């Protein structure tokens, strides 16, 4: 199945409301080789934290660090490999932020890695990974923003937390603080704020992908609430589900970003898709069918001739 994965990524400036913002998103999707010789497919998005200096530089460092680590570090334990990639990226962003002109450098990071047809994910911040399977869309990462962390920790009720002034504030990101532990859970039942156990979510890692599955990695600019105060997302879950059903990864990515841009997204918008080829219908064995039909026809003609000969005796 690994040879039948279609990958595409695009980082976009965003809609008309982003005209005064910097271009801080970066995205990649494609194939890479691990040190043990196995091929892997990677989809990754980094979003330089808004308001921080040179957010785009932080996102560049994050993507480059991840790709270098995955290609050069031992691959016996994929979760350890992902955790190491996150740590290397964090250290790179943290070190760059020590420079006087780059104080406050930070970035989100979301990774989807497919090895031997199995899905592994890691994230920090509010960039996300989704899985579309058999028409059902699931967000398989958990956002590290104030309201979700508060609900998961039992500090606030969901309705109250979502109305809090700090509701969308990032709690974790690369370079944001000295320690930045990545989330290595693959959540299939709503995430920590829905009561899903983090240890069980970690055990979900290595989920076997099936024909037709789609994996989306995106920045928050695609899914955040619209600037018009309506509470609706720039691109909602049902729209994501529909667009991911496109035949190719490129079509899915272009459609998703197009929707957000068309609605005046007020942030950079990035999307990376890994599309697992759909199961092909078994081809009709025309040669075998033709042989069978011809044999049957010959047999029928022979029987007919024998019957006619017997009647004329």
User: CATH number, domain at 85?
Assistant: 3.60.40.10
Q: How far from the centroid of its chain's Cα atoms is residue 298's Cα?
A: 57
**166 shares a domain with 300:** no
Identify whether residues 194 and 264 lie together within a single domain. yes
Q: State the pLDDT at residue 106.
A: 93
Query: 220 with 296, same domain?
Result: no
Q: What pTM does this model have?
A: 0.87
- The answer on 243 and 194 residing in a single domain is yes
The verdict on 200 and 230 lying in the same domain is: yes
Same domain, 31 and 13: yes
Where the chain has pLDDT below 70, the residues are 1-3, 17-21, 50-53, 280-313
Q: Compute the distance between CA of residue 255 and CA of residue 221 in angstroms, rounded to an integer.
A: 14
- One domain for residues 96 and 152: yes
Domain count, the chain: 2
Which residues 6+ apart lie within 8 Å of 305 measured at CB?
A: none
Q: Are residues 171 and 231 in the same domain?
A: yes
Distance CA 14, CA 90 (A): 26
173 closest CA partner among 223, 224, 123, 121: 123
Q: What is the pLDDT of residue 113?
A: 98
Are 146 and 204 part of one and the same domain? yes
Print the domain residue range for 249: 2-280
**pLDDT for the residue numbered 99:** 82
> What pLDDT, on a 0 to 100 scale, did the predictor assign at position 18?
58
């Amino acid at each position: 199945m690994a040879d039948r994965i279609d990958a595409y990524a695009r980082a976009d400036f965003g809609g008309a409301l982003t005209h005064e913002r910097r271009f801080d998103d970066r995205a990649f999707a494609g194939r890479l080789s691990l040190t043990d010789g196995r091929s892997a497919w990677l989809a990754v998005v980094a979003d330089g934290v808004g308001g921080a200096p040179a957010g785009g530089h932080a996102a560049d460092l994050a993507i480059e660090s991840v790709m270098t680590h995955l290609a050069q570090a031992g691959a016996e334990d994929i979760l350890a490999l992902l955790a190491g990639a996150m740590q290397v990226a964090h250290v790179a962003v943290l070190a760059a932020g020590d420079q006087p002109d780059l104080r406050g450098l930070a970035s989100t990071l979301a990774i989807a890695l497919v090895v031997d047809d199995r899905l592994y994910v890691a994230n920090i911040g509010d960039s996300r990974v989704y899985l579309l399977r058999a028409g059902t869309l699931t967000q398989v990462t958990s956002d590290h923003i104030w309201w979700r962390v508060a609900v998961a920790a039992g500090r606030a009720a969901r309705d109250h937390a979502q109305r809090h002034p700090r509701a969308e504030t990032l709690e974790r990101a690369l370079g944001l603080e000295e320690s930045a532990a990545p989330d290595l859970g693959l959540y299939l039942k709503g995430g920590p704020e829905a009561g899903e156990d983090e240890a069980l979510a970690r055990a979900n890692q290595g989920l076997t992908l099936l024909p037709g599955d789609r994996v989306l990695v995106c920045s928050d600019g695609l899914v955040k609430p619209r600037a018009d105060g309506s509470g609706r997302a720039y691109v909602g879950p049902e729209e994501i589900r529909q667009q991911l059903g496109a035949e190719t990864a490129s079509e899915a990515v272009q459609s998703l970003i197009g929707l957000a841009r068309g609605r005046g997204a007020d942030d950079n918008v990035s999307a990376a898709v890994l599309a697992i080829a759909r199961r092909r219908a078994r081809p009709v064995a025309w040669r075998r069918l033709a042989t069978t039909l011809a044999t049957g026809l010959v047999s029928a003609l022979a029987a007919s001739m024998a019957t006619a000969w017997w009647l004329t005796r």
